[in-house]
Amino acid sequence: MATSDVDDSYDPFEEFNRSAGMGVVENPYPMFALVRPQHPMKREGEDEAVIAPGGSDIESMPIDRSVGVFTAYSYDAVQQVLKDGETFSSKGYADIMGKVLGHSILEMDEPEHHLYRGLVQQAFSRKAMETWERELVRDVVDEHIDAFVDRPAKRADLVRELTLPFPVVVIARLLGLPRADLPMFHRRAVEVISAGFELERAESASQALFDYFSAIIAERRVHPSDDVISVLAQAELEGTRLTDEEICSFLRLLLPAGAETTYRSSSNLLFGLLTNPEQLDALRADRTLMPQAIEEGLRWEPPLIAIMRTAARDTEVEGVFVPAGSFVAVNIGSANHDEKVWEKPEEFDIFRPPRQHLAFAWGPHMCLGLHLARMETRVALTQVLDRLPGLRPDPEAEPAAISGAIFRAPAGLPVVWD
């Protein structure tokens, strides 16, 4: 497929942000804090809005509200739901994302999920991670900073010029895609995840990506290299190998799962640091604080605040009866602000005692890319601190703000440096 196939007047990122509630919900956390203490697991009324993937109302989803719609708000409720994949199924994703992603590990339950996760995980080994950091991620980050660092005005928008584009380029390079295909890959992949409001466009993008990847997979099956597609084409577990369709479903998932999230989480962390300059100074002076700064950014403003499950049998969470077939919105954002676990949870504080947050979920579907995400964020932040001395918010620009109902990030991060 040629890059010219793509309609240039259409900006999928604008579309995606509009649909995902960017700019609509500025700060949902005070609302969560009101509900959580009384309703750690809340049965939602027939006409109550639910914060769930696909939009803040679930009317467009094939859900039978009469069976039961619940939101897990507390840390304990969220953890209980996520860790028990037998009681809380991921199959509901098949009706939403599955239509365009294909049958990916996101919507699989055990034992199928375990087998396929074992197969795709082979491409994300510790050794691969070390090589990617050394040979790929640093270069990609530096190329983006090179494009603006020598600007006489010493002024840039770190979202548009760094955090938004770099994770997409990282994924494209991990897959070994030719550079020239990058704009096409990016657009098609974002069109796929905009399925909630542009289904026809998403379906044709999904087919286009299948055609594009099939040709690459066929080539890598014959001439394997060391990229992710080659590893997936060769992966074998208990006598099973991945078919082209299975590899494609995983590849279609990688961009929304890996680039949307990393762009948003690294932007949110930078926002937390830029608006708390004493913490930024502390990190600049002592880089051993980097891991705890990254975890605090993920706790404080996780890029994706709600995921979903379906109760596979009658069960109980925090003393609340949940009948089989109920839809459960799993509010990761609220869990990460549970006052029973963190003091002053609304504050960004890289010095707080370390506790396991739930930004990467928990249990069998816990994020497959969490080591990659942490490494990408560490490399990006390190290069930003090293190459942009005296980094601070641009005093002449509108102050940045994080917004979004489900996916959260600042729309821009205007900065200056010395």
Q: How far is the CB of 375 from ligand HEM (least distance, A)?
A: 9
Site for ligand HEM in 282-321 (CB under 6 A): 302-304, 307
Query: Is residue 333 a contact residue for ligand HEM (CB under 6 A)?
Result: no
Bridge partners (DSSP) listed for residue 316 = 321
Query: Is residue 372 a contact residue for ligand HEM (CB under 6 A)?
Result: yes
Query: Closest CB to ligand HEM among 282 and 367?
Result: 367
Query: Is residue 164 a contact residue for ligand HEM (CB under 6 A)?
Result: no
Q: For ligand HEM, which residue of 58, 61, 94, 373 counts as binding (CB under 6 A)?
A: 373
Q: For ligand HEM, which residue of 69, 273, 359, 380 counts as binding (CB under 6 A)?
A: 359
Q: How far is the CB of 361 from ligand HEM (least distance, A)?
A: 4
Q: How far is the CB of 415 from ligand HEM (least distance, A)?
A: 21
Query: Closest CB to ligand HEM among 21 and 53?
Result: 53
Query: Smallest Cα–Cα separation from 35: which of 308, 331, 293?
Result: 331
Q: How far is the CB of 88 from ligand HEM (least distance, A)?
A: 10
Site for ligand HEM in 240-279 (CB under 6 A): 253-254, 257-258, 261-262, 265
Query: Is residue 361 a contact residue for ligand HEM (CB under 6 A)?
Result: yes
State the CB neighbour count (10 A cutoff) for residue 131. 12
Q: How far is the CB of 311 from ligand HEM (least distance, A)?
A: 15
Query: Is residue 404 a contact residue for ligand HEM (CB under 6 A)?
Result: no
Query: Is residue 106 a contact residue for ligand HEM (CB under 6 A)?
Result: yes
* # binding residues, ligand HEM (CB under 6 A): 24
Query: Is residue 409 a contact residue for ligand HEM (CB under 6 A)?
Result: no
Query: Is residue 369 a contact residue for ligand HEM (CB under 6 A)?
Result: yes
Q: How far is the CB of 299 from ligand HEM (least distance, A)?
A: 11
Query: Is residue 101 a contact residue for ligand HEM (CB under 6 A)?
Result: no
Query: Is residue 189 a contact residue for ligand HEM (CB under 6 A)?
Result: no
Residues that bind ligand HEM (CB under 6 A): 90, 105-106, 117, 253-254, 257-258, 261-262, 265, 302-304, 307, 359-361, 365, 367-369, 372-373
